[in-house]
Amino acid sequence: MKVLELGCGNSQLSEDLYRDGIKQITCIDLSAIAVEKMQKRLLSKGYKEIKVLEADMLDLPFTNEVFDVVIEKGTMDVLFVDSGDPWNPNPETASKVMTMLHQVHRVLKPDGIFISVTFGQPHFRRRFFDAQEFTWLVEWSTFGDGFHYFVYVLKKGKRSLDHGGLCKKVEVPSINLYHDELEGEDYLFRTNIDDLDF
């Protein structure tokens, strides 16, 4: 499985994926400093196979249909920082978000999956994820206590008209077992991926 992480920053995500058996991981970040630090950290811990590149998620330096999974955690949120009214984001924000999603859709294999972990609620993400040009089926779950966050799973090539509402909530009961531990950065890895029905 080939995985691309967008905006890795200093996250532990790639290490944890690697330890879970996923060896072909590429991380990108726009910040040269973040990339350098991440490269050093991964090398010092022996994760030589994980690639870390300085790159812009709005202009991904990859050919079409190469990744099985693209994942981001808190990176898409950066695009919304100057969005103005969240109900009606300004045209520049909307354009950047759509550019990012087009890039993700392009580099995903025909049956690839985009995973977005965010504090962005469905009513603010739906209009972008559900845009007609994308072939993905959009499902999401919410976690947390009081301060909720959201996991969106977008399955390329799986969109169908009889889906009954494009951006659909799914129940993922096994995650609730770990409810108390979801505050830490490793929360994603307590997810039973089989339960997400990839």
Ligand X SMILES: C[S@@+](CC[C@H](N)C(=O)[O-])C[C@H]1O[C@@H](n2cnc3c(N)ncnc32)[C@H](O)[C@@H]1O
* Binding site residues, ligand X, CB under 6 A: 6-9, 11, 28-31, 34, 56-58, 73-75, 78
CB of 28 to ligand X, least distance (A): 6
Give the residue with the Cβ less far from ligand X, 7 or 112.
Answer: 7
Residue 162 Cβ vs ligand X, minimum distance, rounded to whole Å: 35
DSSP string, 124-161: HHHHHHT-TT---EEEEEEE-SSS-EEEEEEETT---G
Instruction: Report in angstroms how near the CB of residue 30 gets to ligand X at its nearest.
Output: 4
Among 119, 165, 112, 108, which Cα is nearest to 142's? 119
Residues 101, 135 contacting (CB under 8 angstroms): no
Nearer to ligand X, 185 or 197 (CB): 185
Tell me which DSSP letter residue 198 carries.
-
Amino acid at 123: H
Long-range contacts of 188-196 (CB under 8 A, 24+ apart): 188/13, 188/16, 188/73, 188/117, 188/151, 189/16, 189/17, 189/20, 191/151, 196/153, 196/170, 196/172
Looking at the Cβ atoms of 11 and 141, the one nearer to ligand X is 11
Minimum CB distance to ligand X, residue 33 (Å): 9
Q: Considering the complex, what minimum distance in angstroms separates the CB of residue 159 from ligand X?
A: 26
| Contact indicator for 198, 153 with CB cutoff of 8 Å | yes
Handedness of CA 139, 160, 93, 79 (dihedral sign): positive
Give the nearer residue to ligand X in terms of CB position, either 73 or 105.
Answer: 73
CB nearer ligand X, residue 28 or residue 167: 28
